[in-house]
Structure 1
Amino acid sequence: MSTVTRTITEPLRTLTLRPESPEGPEQSQRPQQTTSAVKANKDKDDEYPYAWALPTFDNKTYPPLTEFKHKDPGLEALKHENPREFLEGAQVSSLTPKFGSDVSGVQLHKLDPRGKQQLARFVAERGLVVFREQDFQDQSPEWMLNEWGSFFGRLHIHPTSGHPADRPEFHLVYRDMSKSLNYEFTDRFSSSVWHSDVTYEEQPPGLTTLFLFDSPESGGDTAYVSQVEAYNRLSPSFRAYLETLSVVHSGVEQANFSRAGNRGGTVRREPVENVHPLVRTHPVTGHKALFVNKQFSRRIVGLKVEESDAILNLLYDHLAKGVDFQTRVKWTPRAVVLWDNRITAHSAIVDFDSAQDGRRHGARITPQAERPFLRNV
């Protein structure tokens, strides 16, 4: 019997809030502002060339997401005789042998549809690709959303995060001297939280784009882990058992966190829970990957609580400690990072002081992909 995603239709459970943020260290709001700091920051914002992309929160609500048919653009590149034609003349290096690449000499905004198809396949194969020295952030917001993001899938509107005014399809990460939309632990050794984005949706994101308008000279890197390699490191018998399991992913805790007054206090859509296979298959490469993360995975269907917790905690620990299938991206000016959210997890690294090191301001474009599956039916 094949394992596929199914939507939970019974009423959502109310969950007790955990001390960590429901979406990891890029996300929540804990403002500590003084009058002088607010004024200084406002003056700085007035002169800021990317002020259009500063975060806002509104009370607009949206209906539940509906199912849509998704065809990954990378499937077309499987037919191309030279699927890396778009990289001709570029400098390409591997971040690690099996995971992650670094590219210079290609301008993303100049890619035609054929080039974007090849790009989708390349990101699926490498999991994560950093493109340096881009003019991406200087393109119009309309181009970013309509010509770029929509090519890879239906654009996701985050239910709780800040976005630029009238452009809810951008998900923003932001921290400066007077306000923070990130989460920082004060009662733990580290603020790192490994997660894949919004996996509680029926159709979670696929190829994801993140770029920074402004960032500190050092610090604020992003760590990534290959969930394909994490799966491959497990013993064959354990992999076979995991492939029989499904996991509940929930957005309830995230919504409750915002309703408690955090991160703007906004909930644009009522939260959902969905059941996804614990191991999923990528539609382009056919590679299998673990599909669990500590932020949104809640329990394994059909197991006792102790059994579920033991397996999930083992896998969370496996992902967090797997330095030989992780990589760390150092942000440089005008870098754009693309990753495949179906097979990759990540964590922000909050190791900078915005009062001394500067503002960190970025935007994520998050197209949704297919419903997760182990065996396509």
Structure 2
Amino acid sequence: MPFALLDTKLIHEPLKYSGSLDHLEFIEVTPIIGREYPTAKIKDILGASNIEQQIRDLAIIISERGVCFFRASQDDLEVEDLKKFTDLVGKLSGRPKENGLHVHPLYRDPANVPMGNGKTDENIYVINSEAQKKMYRSMIKNRPVEPQDLAREWHSDATFESCPSDFSCLLMQETPPHGGDTLWYSGYELYDRISPSFRAYLETLTATCAQPVFRTASAAGNYAIMSPRGSPLNADDSFAPSHPVIRTNRVTGWKSVFAGLGLHVSRINDVYTYEDQMIREYLMRVLTRNHDCVARMHWTKNSVAIWNNSCVFHAATPDTHLVPGSLRLGIRASSIGEVPYLDPNSTSRREALGSAT
């Protein structure tokens, strides 16, 4: 009797780039992560006759490179344009049909600062350090007196949801003359820099991604948490889902470290306390000792970054308080993707590209 052929088909077949963006000038930020478009305008993509083809191709590029920067001033990009652009990147790259843009759990907070136009929008998160201090005032009493460990800043967006964000897009409207940079780190390369045997073990693990601050903040402010939040599955207020430590990116079919480290990860499941600590500290050690896996964005007014949360971690640099009179203000929209999964037939980035880097 002949042996049955193994099923090697992926759950989501990787998308193929069609070449519709070849006319745009670009620079690869590093060999591993990041692409910058120095002159491209997002509004032109939204107005193109082949808009769906261009945005699908852009979703592929973002997913392969991790993050893309649009350096030219996007001062003609309105709030509705930002929302439409982010929504289409997620929609046209295969997210669940019932999903849309994320709604921030604390949108009803009276301290929710409006956008520059004086309005609020449930699908827009305003990046404003002063506003964040007010919204998360319940955390003030827990602030450490020792110097801050900036490794804690690394995270991917909305991992506290059952369906986290796939793509996030940030338009920085005001930025200080120096400081306030954002860094992105390749989860693909983090996976590739772990030994094969340890990778295989990590693929068996999940982690709890708890964020209890939302419930404490809403209780302190006496208002209801928003629900649902971009997906019918993001409807409760537990904010403690379990996600795979290693996940597959649906667009590329590549494996990435996902729920093994970061601001929202509270525990590796089904291991002893010391083992949990050891695993997370090891992954953070690999991250912090390999800065060639980082793409850094020094923001300029009205520049944009869009990234794939399934394969990158990011961290803002909290140094703007050192620049007197500085203001760091931006608006972010986030698409909501699928429940994170690990496809046993997926490969690493290096394996897929046949590359040592």
TM-score range, shorter chain: 0.7 to 0.9
2:192 aligned to 232, 239, 249, which one? 232
Matched, 1:113 2:113: no
**How far apart are the structure 2 equivalents of 1:79 and 1:359?**
38
**How far apart are the structure 2 equivalents of 1:260 and 1:181?**
10
- How far off its partner does 1:355 sit? 6.8
Matched, 1:150 2:87: yes
**How far apart are the structure 1 equivalents of 2:17 and 2:128?**
40
1:277 aligned to 218, 237, 244, which one? 244
2:26 aligned to 92, 99, 118, which one? 92
Farther-moved stretch of structure 1 (350-359 vs 320-329) = 350-359
Q: In structure 2, what is the equivalent of residue 49 of structure 1?
A: none
Q: How does 1:39-118 map to 2 (within 5 A)?
A: 78=16, 80=18, 82=19, 85-88=20-23, 90-111=24-45, 112-118=51-57
User: Deviation string for 1:65-105 (max 9, x for gaps)?
Assistant: xxxxxx99x95x5162x2xx3141x3311211111111122
**How far apart are the structure 2 equivalents of 1:354 and 1:233?**
35
Q: In structure 1, what is the equivalent of residue 126 of structure 2?
A: 172
Q: Give the conservation status (yes or no) of the 8 Å contact 2:70–2:304.
A: yes
Identity percentage over the alignment? 27
User: Deviation string for 1:164-196 (max 9, x for gaps)?
Assistant: 444110011114699777999773434631111
**How far apart are the structure 2 equivalents of 1:338 and 1:206?**
10
**How far apart are the structure 1 equivalents of 2:144 and 2:17?**
51
Q: In structure 2, what is the equivalent of residue 187 of structure 1?
A: 145
Unaligned runs of 5+ in 1: 1-70
**How far apart are the structure 1 equivalents of 2:174 and 2:128?**
9
- How far off its partner does 1:220 sit? 0.6
Q: Give the conservation status (yes or no) of the 8 Å contact 2:113–2:131.
A: no
Q: How does 1:247-326 map to 2 (within 5 A)?
A: 247-257=207-217, 259-260=219-220, 267-269=225-227, 270-292=237-259, 293-326=261-294
Q: Give the conservation status (yes or no) of the 8 Å contact 1:191–1:350.
A: no
Amino acid at match of 2:186: S
CA RMSD of aligned residues (A): 3.0
Structure 1 pair 356–177 and aligned structure 2 pair: CA distance change class (3 A):
farther
Structure 1 pair 158–354 and aligned structure 2 pair: CA distance change class (3 A):
farther
SS of the equivalent of 1:371 reads coil
Structure 1 pair 166–324 and aligned structure 2 pair: CA distance change class (3 A):
closer
Farther-moved stretch of structure 1 (277-286 vs 287-296) = 287-296
Q: In structure 2, what is the equivalent of residue 351 of structure 1?
A: 319
**How far apart are the structure 1 equivalents of 2:191 and 2:182?**
21
- How far off its partner does 1:321 sit? 3.4
Q: How does 1:193-208 map to 2 (within 5 A)?
A: 193-208=153-168
- How far off its partner does 1:266 sit? 7.2
Unaligned runs of 5+ in 2: 1-10, 46-50, 92-99, 228-236, 346-357
Structure 1 pair 363–188 and aligned structure 2 pair: CA distance change class (3 A):
farther
Q: In structure 2, what is the equivalent of residue 360 of structure 1?
A: 328
**How far apart are the structure 2 equivalents of 1:242 and 1:203?**
21
**How far apart are the structure 2 equivalents of 1:290 and 1:266?**
33
Given the two structures, how large is their TM-score scaled by the length of structure 1? 0.71
Structure 1 pair 177–374 and aligned structure 2 pair: CA distance change class (3 A):
closer
- How far off its partner does 1:113 sit? 1.3
Q: Give the conservation status (yes or no) of the 8 Å contact 1:280–1:288.
A: yes
